[in-house]
């Protein structure tokens, strides 16, 4: 099985790659369109802002490549947000694969933005990506923008408001949290993705 990590400049690429190596998978890091199209599984990692993330994908000529993929694709953190239609962050048009608008968390007394740290997962819909995941299991988040819940939501979490923690539509999947930093829960979800 060939797994590729899209080299879109995300700072979490090394840690995602290492998490996959712990599962016995050596994922190639690439920005080559032909390599991405030929892979069995594609992972779009990302840490940073939506505008520069999309600018990098455009610069590499990967926007239409990613939109055209038919194999399982997993967006992680910013990578998940880039799968959506639009982000308030920098008023950015994204890939448009999940019909959702990414919004900044509303600041409130006692509510820190960015949302950072461990938080529980509430399963809203059965899906192979979540196989073996128990209600309330914890994952590690770092983000200021979030995808609202909708018919794309597999699991939700709460930080002053409910938001999508895991999403799926057709062959596109996303995890808002960092599976590579989420211990056994993250490893289980990465393994589930590899088995899709």
Of the residues 64, 77, 84, 89, which is catalytic? 77
In the block, residue with structure tokens 């890091």: 29
| Whole-number CA gyration radius for the chain | 15
- Residues in the chain, overall count: 196
Of the residues 115, 159, 173, 178, which is catalytic? 178
How many other β-carbons are positioned within 10 Å of the β-carbon of residue 25? 16
User: Torsion over CA of 121, 125, 126 and 127, rounded to 10 degrees?
Assistant: -90
Handedness of CA 7, 10, 13, 19 (dihedral sign): negative
Active site residue 94: no
DSSP code, position 41: E
Q: Determine the Cα–Cα distance for residues 125 and 83; give it in Å rounded to an integer.
A: 19
Catalytic residue set: 77, 178, 180
């Amino acid at each position: 099985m060939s797994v590729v990590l899209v080299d879109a400049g995300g700072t979490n690429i090394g840690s995602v790659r290492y998490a996959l190596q712990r599962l016995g998978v050596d994922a190639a890091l690439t920005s080559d369109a032909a390599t991405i199209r030929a892979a069995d599984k594609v992972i779009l990692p990302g840490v940073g802002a939506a505008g520069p993330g999309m600018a990098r994908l455009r610069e590499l000529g990967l926007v239409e490549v990613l939109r055209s993929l038919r194999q399982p694709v997993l967006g992680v953190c910013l990578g998940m947000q880039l799968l959506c239609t639009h982000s308030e962050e920098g008023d950015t048009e994204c890939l448009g694969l999940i019909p959702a608008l990414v919004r900044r968390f509303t600041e409130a007394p006692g509510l820190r933005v960015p949302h950072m740290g461990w938080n529980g997962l509430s399963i809203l819909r059965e899906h192979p990506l979540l196989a073996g995941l128990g209600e309330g299991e914890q994952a590690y988040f770092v983000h200021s923008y979030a995808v609202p819940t909708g018919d794309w939501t597999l699991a939700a979490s709460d930080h002053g408001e409910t938001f999508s923690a895991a999403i799926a539509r057709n062959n596109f999947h996303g995890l808002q949290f960092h599976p590579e930093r989420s211990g056994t829960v993250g490893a289980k979800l990465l393994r589930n993705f590899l088995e899709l």
